[in-house]
Structure 1
Amino acid sequence: MAGGGRGAGRPAKKKSPSKGTGGNVRRGLEGKGATPPAHMRHWYKDKARTERIEREERTGRSSSPRTPVRTRRSEDAPEYIGGRNPVVEALRAGVPANALYVAQRIDSDDRVKESVRIAADRGIAMLEVTREKLDRLTEGGVHQGVALQIPAYDYAHPDDLVQQARNAAEVPLIVALDGVTDPRNLGAIARSATAFGAHGLVVPARRSAGVTAGAWKTSAGTLATLPVARASNLTATLREYREAGLFVIGLDGEGRVDIGDANLLEDPLVVVVGSEGKGLSRLVREACDLVVRIPMHAAAESLNAGVAAGIALYEVARHRKR
């Protein structure tokens, strides 16, 4: 029969009046509070994962080789030298140290014994730790069971260097580094600066070598007596030195005057050493009263920054003595 499906012929059911929401809509529109932090959201699988991530953020080490987590070491944090030869050489050179870490059940040799003896003589704390602890301190470097903690260097203010010269009734001689990024060059320049009577070094706060373990070792202990100042802006610091009565000489291979012919070497002086290859930056060059060069054969394109600084400081000392 046409139109005779199931339920055909039955009267349509009358709809009952819709009921109220009972306030559910209003409650649904209310805020649910602050957004929960990431580790409390549903897509974090379990507590173990959260703890692992937090542990990796603290240590800067990751258990996954594909996604390593690294944290930037603070400039005020101590540094660690790892390895038997580097540690004993640093102790021999008089590098300041807070603590000597020695692995448990270490196979001791002459280098370890000497390191322990020097540390004991200097009153440096000695701690016996696990190799896992040494791995963390040296950030996975080769430590051979020993590590030395070097305290963060206490930089001077650039004005302190001038004041030190005046307190000694001497003509100020300051060495500034522009773009020197190798700590070993800084250490070598510190040796020359000490040998030829400079009153300190000035290094930029950024993009420059600092007083690290490598600088200490190369300086052969001279950084213990030679102050190093940090300048937030090297160009501005050089201008302030000029306003204080010092002349600024830049050392660069493109200079037009030989260092031996410069007529300012006996005056209060700042010698600026540029980076190897690049020389002085444009702004630093403009802040100099004079740019000088070291005469040499054309076969040598440039000198190492440490060597160039030593030659320039020798010339300054020779003129002042004369």
Structure 2
Amino acid sequence: MQNNSEESELVFGHHSVVELLKSPTANQRVNKVLVQKDLTSEHVREVVKIAKRDRLIVQEVPKSKLDLISDGGTHQGVAAYVAPYQYVELDEIFKSAEKKGTDPFILILDKIEDPHNLGSIMRTADAVGVDGIIIPKHRSTGLTAVVAKTSTGAIEHVPVVRVTNLVNTINDLKKRNVWIFGTAMEGKNYRQWNAKGAIALVIGNEGKGVSPLVQKQVDETLSIPMVGHVQSLNASVATGVMLYQAFASRNE
């Protein structure tokens, strides 16, 4: 297994590292665990206990090292180098739903560029039971260390599919009887959304929204009514609003 940080992603912060170490693939993906030298907090003790239980490499380093590699982030005295995050095939999303005995609940992100937005979205997706997220390979953030940190561990639980062509993937979903919903300024009020059954929700780019080619593929368009001066929401906030409406509809 590679121990070179150039061939790894860095995960830091107590909650993110603990979720990483508890994941089923930790032994295959974790290259090295770093803990702050001479720091005996409960956070550090928990990380060391799990890492040593699973016979992972644990290295004590000075706080200045953790400050440097985390770029001044809140590391809480712990970090880990991991192999790059793995994407899954589309079938894995359907298998996830089948295991739970539910209809597929899918999120499609059309060129989300900010890794903080993706991390926050993953956090909400995990909370409401989304079976998987689909992102495009190009002009979109992937699964990075920043995404992992912002997701506070959700990255370990929400499968992500990375595809070359979103339009083709949406057509594939339709063949599997998935109903596609899109977001736009004009559309049905999201509070009237019946999200039962096999569904996919498309969220657009932070500035441009859903691209025209993808918008043409949606079966129904939804909107979030706003009465303020700013007629748009942050992508992760808008996604949170929509996902919780879907969650409420699916669990009536």
Task: Quickly name the TM-score band, shorter chain normalised.
Answer: 0.7 to 0.9
Aligned partner letter, 1:90:
S
Measured in 1, the distance between the counterparts of 2:125 and 2:139 equals 21
The 8 Å contact of residues 134 and 160 in structure 2, kept in 1 or not, is answered as: yes
* 1:125 is aligned to 2:92: no
Measured on the aligned residues, the alpha-carbon RMSD in Å equals 3.2
* 1:270 is aligned to 2:192: no
Measured in 2, the distance between the counterparts of 1:249 and 1:100 equals 42
Structure 1 unmatched ranges of 5 or more: 1-58, 60-72
Taking the TM superposition and a 5 Å limit, the aligned residue runs for 1:227-238 are 227-238=159-170
The 3-state SS of whatever aligns with 1:121 is: helix
Distance 1:261 1:89, change over 3 A: closer
The 8 Å contact of residues 15 and 153 in structure 2, kept in 1 or not, is answered as: no
The 3-state SS of whatever aligns with 1:248 is: strand
TM (normalized to structure 1)?
A: 0.63
The 8 Å contact of residues 95 and 216 in structure 1, kept in 2 or not, is answered as: no
The structure richer in helix per residue is 2
* 1:261 is aligned to 2:192: yes
- If asked which structure has higher relative contact order (CA below 8 Å, sep 6+), I would say 2
The 8 Å contact of residues 202 and 229 in structure 1, kept in 2 or not, is answered as: yes
Aligned partner letter, 2:32:
A
Q: Pick one of 95, 98, 103 that aligns with 2:31.
A: 98
User: Equivalent residue for 2:27?
Assistant: none
Measured in 2, the distance between the counterparts of 1:166 and 1:87 equals 33
The 3-state SS of whatever aligns with 1:189 is: helix
Distance 1:306 1:128, change over 3 A: same
Taking the TM superposition and a 5 Å limit, the aligned residue runs for 1:162-311 are 162-252=94-184, 254-263=185-194, 265-311=195-241
The 3-state SS of whatever aligns with 1:303 is: coil
Overall identity of the aligned pairs, in %? 30
* 1:315 is aligned to 2:248: no
The 8 Å contact of residues 247 and 289 in structure 1, kept in 2 or not, is answered as: yes
The 8 Å contact of residues 150 and 213 in structure 1, kept in 2 or not, is answered as: no
Q: CA deviation at 1:266?
A: 1.5
CA distances 1:192-217 after superposition (whole Å, capped 9, x unpaired):
22222211111112222222222222
The 3-state SS of whatever aligns with 1:95 is: helix
Structure 2 unmatched ranges of 5 or more: 22-29
Q: CA deviation at 1:275?
A: 1.9
How many equivalent pairs are there? Answer: 234
CA distances 1:166-186 after superposition (whole Å, capped 9, x unpaired):
343311110011111222222
The 8 Å contact of residues 182 and 209 in structure 1, kept in 2 or not, is answered as: yes
The 3-state SS of whatever aligns with 1:272 is: strand
The 8 Å contact of residues 13 and 149 in structure 2, kept in 1 or not, is answered as: no
CA distances 1:110-167 after superposition (whole Å, capped 9, x unpaired):
56x8436513433331236799xx69x94x9569997531221121112221232234
Taking the TM superposition and a 5 Å limit, the aligned residue runs for 1:99-118 are 99-101=32-34, 108-109=38-39, 114-115=43-44, 118=47
Distance 1:229 1:128, change over 3 A: same
Measured in 1, the distance between the counterparts of 2:248 and 2:126 equals 15
User: Equivalent residue for 1:31?
Assistant: none
Measured in 1, the distance between the counterparts of 2:13 and 2:153 equals 14
Q: CA deviation at 1:273?
A: 1.0
Measured in 2, the distance between the counterparts of 1:245 and 1:191 equals 27
Greater gyration radius: 1
The 8 Å contact of residues 276 and 304 in structure 1, kept in 2 or not, is answered as: yes
Q: CA deviation at 1:280?
A: 0.6
The 8 Å contact of residues 248 and 270 in structure 1, kept in 2 or not, is answered as: yes
Q: CA deviation at 1:218?
A: 2.3
TM (normalized to structure 2)?
A: 0.78
Distance 1:95 1:304, change over 3 A: farther
The 8 Å contact of residues 172 and 268 in structure 1, kept in 2 or not, is answered as: yes
